[in-house]
Amino acid sequence: MKLLWLSFVQFYLTVGFKFYYKKIDVIYKEKIPKDKAVIFLSNHQNALLDPLLVSISSTRKNYFLTRAAVFKNSTVAKLLNSLQMLPVYRMIDGVNNIQKNRAIFTFCTELLDQKKSIILFPEGNHSLKRKVRPLKKGAARIIQETLQEFPKREIIIIPVGVNYQAPTEYGDSMSVYFGKHISPTKFWDGSQLDMQELNKTISAELKQLTSHIESISDYEQNLKNLKNLKIDFTSPIAVNKCLQNDFLKTENKIKELIMKKFGNNVKENTDNNNVVLRGINETLNKLEDKIDEMNKVLPQLRTFILPGGDVLVSYCHIARTVCRRAERWSVELIEKEELDEIYVRYLNRMSDFLFVLARYFAHNKEVKEIPWIPKK
């Protein structure tokens, strides 16, 4: 009956979140073992939503360690208990209540011995800051007690990165990244767990799985810079790479490639701090002239044509499709980056040039064009 109830709640939440969130990406959940003791250790950015999203994303029937304050109402407590949520007491809950954690931790060791899965948030509380905060030792203590009580039980630690584009807004986009498995036995000497080294390893992995702004003094400025770049905060790899590269935009990288390609034809306009891509403009004009020149000797195109008929012609069509694909990606990039539209125009005209060039080669080689005839 309990399993049926949990399955119903999990299904209900899954459907509900699909309506609430515009996009939910779950990365590497296929690597989660189904029949082993697992502790999911996640960053904590968005209060109650984090454990629910991590749980339904993992597909396991998880237990949660939750702050005891939410259990004060007896009706709410019954509901939370039915969802396998366990209270954890902090100093603000009273010194006498801290002792109750001993029974909770003991119960967690028994769950792990039964190959169950537990979700913990080692930062201790939630924060909207895009930063992995120092980890508490609660999770490490549970692992140590489990290894002491059940030394042969294999335990797998899975760091989890939860990322929101705009955590306080309806219709947000978010992602859940399940990280590399960590074996606590690497930090176990047979009697004691090196909690400091274990937490350091977990923290380092969490920083890879989340949008992590390391600097405290420059946090607000770094966050502002990321927002100005219209960065996708649900992609921690992109965010962290941007931070590591000191906010080098994709556009700047493209400009570097343009400089290598066109050399002195590209110059910097210091008055408005924009790059005048004179070389590309000249190339666009040449492409237009060449297209017009080839079209003069080609028969008028009255229907769609299929690529083929000659190897050289086919190569031109293949190059055209690759160029068109790059154009579509550039259009998507413009929506996220301050990218000059001249790059899209260049790719568009190059694609047209390759199409006309394919027809031109076919004409010179007297290869008959293959018309596209739609099926009736």
E strand or H helix at 178: strand 173-178
DSSP conformation class of 42 = E
Query: In the chain, where are the structural domains located?
Result: 2-214, 250-371
34 class by beta-carbon count within 10 Å (0-12 exposed, 13-18 middle, 19+ buried)? exposed
Q: Which CATH superfamily is domain 250-371 in?
A: Cobalamin adenosyltransferase-like (1.20.1200.10)
Structure tokens, 103: 């029974």
In this predicted structure, the answer to whether residue 126 has a pLDDT above a threshold of 80 is yes
E strand or H helix at 284: helix 278-295
In this predicted structure, the answer to whether residue 144 has a pLDDT above a threshold of 90 is yes
pLDDT digits (tens, 9 = 90+) for 20-49: 888 888 988 888 998 999 999 999 988 878
d(CA 234, CA 163): 5
Q: Contact at 8 Å (CB) between 329 and 356?
A: no
Q: What is the pLDDT of residue 276?
A: 41
d(CA 95, CA 99): 8
Q: Which of 1-5, 40-44, 154-158, 196-200 has the lowest mean pLDDT?
A: 1-5
pLDDT digits (tens, 9 = 90+) for 237-261: 888 887 877 665 544 554 555 455 4
In this predicted structure, the answer to whether residue 268 has a pLDDT above a threshold of 80 is no
Structure tokens, 30: 């296929």
Q: How confident is the model at residue 273 (pLDDT cuts 50, 70, 90)?
A: very low
Q: What is the pLDDT of residue 159?
A: 96
Neighbour count for residue 221 (Cβ, 10 Å): 11
Specify the pairing of strand 63-67 against strand 117-120: parallel
Better-predicted residue by pLDDT, 373 or 236: 236
Q: What is the pLDDT of residue 257?
A: 52
- CA angle 133-28-52, nearest 5°? 60
Q: Does domain 2-214 bear CATH number 3.30.420.10?
A: no
d(CA 333, CA 250): 9
pLDDT digits (tens, 9 = 90+) for 60-94: 889 988 888 878 888 888 888 888 888 888 877 77
3-state secondary structure (DSSP) of residue 253: helix
Give me Rg for the CA atoms of the chain.
Answer: 29
> How many residues are listed for the chain in this entry?
376
Q: What is the pLDDT of residue 215?
A: 81
pLDDT digits (tens, 9 = 90+) for 305-349: 778 778 888 888 888 888 888 888 877 776 666 666 777 888 888
* Strands lying side by side in the sheet with 155-164: 23-27, 173-178, 155-164, 37-42, 117-120, 63-67, 85-88
pTM over 0.75: no
Average pLDDT, whole number, for the chain? Answer: 83
